Amino acid sequence: MSKPYFNSQELDFLKSLPIPETGYLLQTNCGAGEALAQFHELRPRLDLQGVEPSDSLREAFGRHSGHSFSACVWKEESQEEAESYDVIYLSGMKVGDVREPASFKELLDRYRPLLVEGGFLLIEISFANDHGVTSLDRVPWLEKNLQQIDPGEMAMAWHPVPSKERGILSLWKGGSR
Protein backbone atom coordinates (compact mmCIF):
# COMPACT_ATOMS: atom_id res chain seq x y z
CA MET A 1 0.00 0.00 0.00
CA SER A 2 1.29 3.44 -0.84
CA LYS A 3 1.73 6.30 1.61
CA PRO A 4 -1.56 7.90 2.75
CA TYR A 5 -2.49 11.11 0.98
CA PHE A 6 -4.13 12.87 3.94
CA ASN A 7 -2.39 13.32 7.28
CA SER A 8 -4.24 12.90 10.58
CA GLN A 9 -5.15 16.63 10.80
CA GLU A 10 -6.69 16.57 7.34
CA LEU A 11 -8.55 13.34 8.07
CA ASP A 12 -9.98 14.85 11.26
CA PHE A 13 -11.16 17.84 9.25
CA LEU A 14 -12.77 15.64 6.59
CA LYS A 15 -14.41 13.49 9.28
CA SER A 16 -15.91 16.66 10.79
CA LEU A 17 -17.77 17.48 7.57
CA PRO A 18 -21.27 16.06 7.18
CA ILE A 19 -20.37 14.20 3.99
CA PRO A 20 -23.16 11.76 3.08
CA GLU A 21 -22.73 8.01 3.51
CA THR A 22 -23.85 7.32 -0.06
CA GLY A 23 -23.75 9.24 -3.32
CA TYR A 24 -21.07 10.28 -5.77
CA LEU A 25 -17.59 11.68 -5.15
CA LEU A 26 -15.38 13.08 -7.90
CA GLN A 27 -11.70 13.84 -7.40
CA THR A 28 -9.72 15.79 -9.98
CA ASN A 29 -5.99 15.07 -10.35
CA CYS A 30 -6.53 11.80 -8.49
CA GLY A 31 -3.07 10.42 -9.23
CA ALA A 32 -2.68 6.75 -8.33
CA GLY A 33 -5.71 6.84 -6.03
CA GLU A 34 -4.24 7.48 -2.57
CA ALA A 35 -6.85 10.11 -1.62
CA LEU A 36 -9.69 8.04 -3.12
CA ALA A 37 -8.56 5.11 -0.95
CA GLN A 38 -8.84 7.28 2.15
CA PHE A 39 -12.22 8.65 1.08
CA HIS A 40 -13.31 5.02 0.72
CA GLU A 41 -12.21 4.35 4.29
CA LEU A 42 -14.23 7.38 5.50
CA ARG A 43 -17.34 6.63 3.43
CA PRO A 44 -17.20 3.07 2.02
CA ARG A 45 -20.57 3.35 0.25
CA LEU A 46 -19.72 6.43 -1.84
CA ASP A 47 -19.40 5.82 -5.58
CA LEU A 48 -15.86 7.07 -6.30
CA GLN A 49 -14.80 8.65 -9.57
CA GLY A 50 -11.56 10.34 -10.50
CA VAL A 51 -10.04 12.41 -13.26
CA GLU A 52 -6.32 12.00 -13.93
CA PRO A 53 -4.81 13.51 -17.08
CA SER A 54 -1.52 11.61 -16.74
CA ASP A 55 -1.51 8.29 -18.60
CA SER A 56 1.20 6.85 -16.34
CA LEU A 57 -0.67 7.72 -13.13
CA ARG A 58 -3.93 6.28 -14.49
CA GLU A 59 -2.05 3.09 -15.35
CA ALA A 60 -0.50 3.03 -11.86
CA PHE A 61 -3.99 3.39 -10.40
CA GLY A 62 -5.17 0.43 -12.46
CA ARG A 63 -2.20 -1.74 -11.41
CA HIS A 64 -2.43 -0.88 -7.71
CA SER A 65 -3.36 -4.17 -6.07
CA GLY A 66 -3.87 -2.61 -2.64
CA HIS A 67 -7.14 -0.84 -3.50
CA SER A 68 -10.02 -2.36 -1.59
CA PHE A 69 -12.54 -0.43 -3.68
CA SER A 70 -13.42 0.13 -7.28
CA ALA A 71 -13.49 3.50 -8.95
CA CYS A 72 -13.88 4.89 -12.42
CA VAL A 73 -10.87 6.97 -13.41
CA TRP A 74 -11.15 9.20 -16.45
CA LYS A 75 -8.58 11.10 -18.49
CA GLU A 76 -10.81 14.16 -18.95
CA GLU A 77 -13.66 15.60 -16.95
CA SER A 78 -16.02 15.29 -19.90
CA GLN A 79 -15.95 11.49 -19.46
CA GLU A 80 -17.53 11.51 -15.99
CA GLU A 81 -20.51 9.25 -15.45
CA ALA A 82 -22.61 11.07 -12.86
CA GLU A 83 -24.55 14.20 -13.72
CA SER A 84 -24.18 15.57 -10.21
CA TYR A 85 -21.94 14.88 -7.24
CA ASP A 86 -22.30 14.95 -3.48
CA VAL A 87 -18.58 15.71 -3.11
CA ILE A 88 -16.10 17.18 -5.58
CA TYR A 89 -12.50 17.23 -4.40
CA LEU A 90 -10.20 19.45 -6.47
CA SER A 91 -6.72 18.29 -5.55
CA GLY A 92 -3.41 19.72 -6.61
CA MET A 93 -4.66 23.27 -7.07
CA LYS A 94 -1.92 25.88 -7.02
CA VAL A 95 -2.20 29.37 -5.57
CA GLY A 96 -2.22 30.78 -9.10
CA ASP A 97 -5.35 28.76 -9.89
CA VAL A 98 -7.36 30.56 -7.22
CA ARG A 99 -5.52 33.79 -6.34
CA GLU A 100 -7.16 36.09 -8.88
CA PRO A 101 -10.86 36.79 -8.26
CA ALA A 102 -11.74 36.03 -11.90
CA SER A 103 -10.01 32.63 -11.87
CA PHE A 104 -11.56 31.75 -8.50
CA LYS A 105 -15.03 32.70 -9.78
CA GLU A 106 -14.43 30.68 -12.95
CA LEU A 107 -13.50 27.66 -10.83
CA LEU A 108 -16.67 28.03 -8.75
CA ASP A 109 -18.83 28.57 -11.82
CA ARG A 110 -17.40 25.42 -13.40
CA TYR A 111 -18.00 23.05 -10.48
CA ARG A 112 -20.95 24.52 -8.55
CA PRO A 113 -23.52 23.29 -11.14
CA LEU A 114 -22.19 19.73 -10.75
CA LEU A 115 -23.00 19.67 -7.01
CA VAL A 116 -26.25 18.40 -5.58
CA GLU A 117 -28.00 20.71 -3.12
CA GLY A 118 -26.05 20.35 0.13
CA GLY A 119 -23.02 18.96 -1.76
CA PHE A 120 -19.41 19.77 -0.91
CA LEU A 121 -16.75 21.36 -3.09
CA LEU A 122 -13.38 20.70 -1.45
CA ILE A 123 -10.48 22.68 -2.90
CA GLU A 124 -6.97 21.66 -1.90
CA ILE A 125 -4.64 24.63 -2.31
CA SER A 126 -0.89 24.05 -2.28
CA PHE A 127 1.30 26.85 -0.95
CA ALA A 128 4.60 24.99 -1.31
CA ASN A 129 6.12 27.31 -3.91
CA ASP A 130 4.34 30.55 -3.04
CA HIS A 131 6.78 32.67 -1.10
CA GLY A 132 4.22 35.48 -0.76
CA VAL A 133 2.15 33.45 1.70
CA THR A 134 3.27 34.15 5.24
CA SER A 135 0.48 32.42 7.13
CA LEU A 136 -1.84 29.65 6.10
CA ASP A 137 -4.32 30.77 8.75
CA ARG A 138 -4.96 34.14 7.16
CA VAL A 139 -4.61 34.47 3.42
CA PRO A 140 -5.91 37.94 2.42
CA TRP A 141 -6.50 37.19 -1.26
CA LEU A 142 -8.48 34.06 -0.36
CA GLU A 143 -10.63 36.03 2.05
CA LYS A 144 -11.25 38.64 -0.67
CA ASN A 145 -12.23 35.98 -3.19
CA LEU A 146 -14.59 34.32 -0.72
CA GLN A 147 -16.45 37.61 -0.35
CA GLN A 148 -17.70 37.03 -3.91
CA ILE A 149 -19.69 34.02 -2.75
CA ASP A 150 -23.31 34.60 -1.89
CA PRO A 151 -23.62 33.21 1.68
CA GLY A 152 -27.16 32.06 0.86
CA GLU A 153 -25.80 29.93 -1.96
CA MET A 154 -22.54 28.54 -0.58
CA ALA A 155 -20.94 28.50 2.85
CA MET A 156 -17.29 27.73 3.60
CA ALA A 157 -14.71 26.46 6.05
CA TRP A 158 -10.92 26.79 5.73
CA HIS A 159 -8.53 24.20 7.13
CA PRO A 160 -4.83 25.08 6.86
CA VAL A 161 -2.31 22.26 7.23
CA PRO A 162 1.02 24.01 7.97
CA SER A 163 3.10 20.83 8.01
CA LYS A 164 2.13 20.07 4.42
CA GLU A 165 2.07 23.65 3.13
CA ARG A 166 -1.43 23.23 1.87
CA GLY A 167 -4.96 23.85 3.00
CA ILE A 168 -8.39 22.49 2.21
CA LEU A 169 -11.17 24.92 1.48
CA SER A 170 -14.60 23.37 2.00
CA LEU A 171 -17.57 24.99 0.29
CA TRP A 172 -21.03 23.55 0.52
CA LYS A 173 -23.92 24.34 -1.73
CA GLY A 174 -27.08 25.57 -0.13
CA GLY A 175 -25.90 28.17 2.38
CA SER A 176 -24.89 28.05 6.01
CA ARG A 177 -24.54 24.83 7.99
In a domain, 25, yes or no: yes
Contact 73, 50 (CB under 8 A): yes
The H or E element containing residue 59 is helix 55-63
Give pLDDT, residue 42: 92
In a domain, 2, yes or no: no
Give pLDDT, residue 176: 46
Give pLDDT, residue 134: 45
Residues in CB range of 128: below 8 A, 6 or more apart: 165, 166
Give pLDDT, residue 68: 55
Beta strands across the sheet bearing 154-161: 71-74, 46-51, 23-28, 85-94, 115-126, 166-173, 154-161
pLDDT per residue of the chain (177 residues) written in tens, 0 to 9:
467 888 888 888 888 888 899 999 999 888 888 899 899 999 999 988 888 888 888 777 766 645 555 566 666 665 555 678 999 999 888 777 777 778 888 888 888 888 888 888 888 877 665 555 544 444 666 666 666 666 556 666 666 665 556 777 777 776 444
In a domain, 3, yes or no: no
Give pLDDT, residue 159: 66
In a domain, 142, yes or no: yes
Give pLDDT, residue 22: 93
In a domain, 52, yes or no: yes
Domain membership of residue 38 as a residue range = 8-173
Give pLDDT, residue 135: 47
Q: What is the CATH number of the domain that holds 74?
A: 3.40.50.150
Report the mean per-residue pLDDT for the chain.
75
In a domain, 21, yes or no: yes
Amino acid at 134: T
In a domain, 132, yes or no: yes
Contact 64, 40 (CB under 8 A): no
Give pLDDT, residue 39: 92
In a domain, 1, yes or no: no
Q: How many domains does the chain have?
A: 1
